[in-house]
């Protein structure tokens, strides 16, 4: 029971911070005007770019595709296809997380699930994901991203690291005869 509460805390914490950060950002750029419109169309918001440092900006972008704006060109059915696919992937991750995951997989999968759900909420509400963090060096920009994306990337990184360490430990035990 304690494990489930910890995992749910991580998942809901990621969702909370992701949605709060996006909400604050939307509030600041719209002047507190509530966004309205068709849930499957991107709500027009004035272009915004604020230089914070020499290598970091706040920018406002809608990402109707997936990571790095992939699958943008699927047409009007893009949001529906992505929502269905994402929901299936989230369902699989949650099932695996709560039923089959090894100890080293728990936190990374909770981070990934929370981030995926945070972005899914945007897709359902707006038909696109709000991205607003922009890092760059000179004229080279990394694609804009958000808090959910950070949690997904950190979760994947931790998953790979933990998988490597677990396998290494297992191999050490096999070689050592322990």
Q: Which residues contact 43 (CB under 8 A, 6 or more apart)?
A: 35, 36, 37, 126
Which tokens go with 103? 């100890």
Phi, psi of 32 (to 5 degrees): 85, 5
Query: Which residue out of 18, 122, 131, 134 is catalytically annotated?
Result: 131
Query: Which residue out of 18, 122, 134, 149 is catalytically annotated?
Result: 149
CA–CA separation, 98 and 102 (whole Å):
10
How many CB atoms within 10 Å of residue 108? 24
Residue 122 annotated among the catalytic residues of the structure: no
CA–CA separation, 146 and 167 (whole Å):
32
Distances (CA, A) of 78 to 86, 166, 177: 12, 38, 53
Residue 131 annotated among the catalytic residues of the structure: yes
Which residues are known catalytic residues?
A: 131, 149
């Amino acid at each position: 029971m304690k494990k489930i509460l910890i995992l749910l805390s991580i998942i809901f914490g990621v969702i909370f911070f992701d949605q709060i950060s996006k909400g604050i950002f939307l509030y600041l750029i719209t002047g507190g005007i509530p966004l309205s419109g068709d849930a499957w169309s991107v709500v027009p918001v004035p272009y915004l770019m604020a230089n914070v440092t020499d290598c970091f900006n706040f920018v406002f972008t809608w990402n109707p595709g997936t990571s790095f704006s992939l699958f943008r060109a699927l047409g009007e059915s893009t949001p529906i296809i992505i929502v269905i696919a994402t929901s299936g992937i989230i369902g699989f991750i949650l099932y695996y997380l709560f039923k089959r995951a090894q100890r080293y997989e728990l936190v990374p999968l909770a981070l990934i699930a929370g981030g995926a759900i945070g972005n899914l909420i945007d897709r359902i509400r707006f038909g696109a994901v709000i991205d607003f963090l922009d890092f760059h060096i000179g004229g080279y920009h990394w694609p804009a991203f958000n808090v959910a994306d950070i949690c997904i990337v950190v979760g994947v990184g931790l998953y790979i690291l933990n998988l490597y360490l677990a396998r290494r430990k297992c191999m050490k035990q096999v070689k050592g005869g322990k």
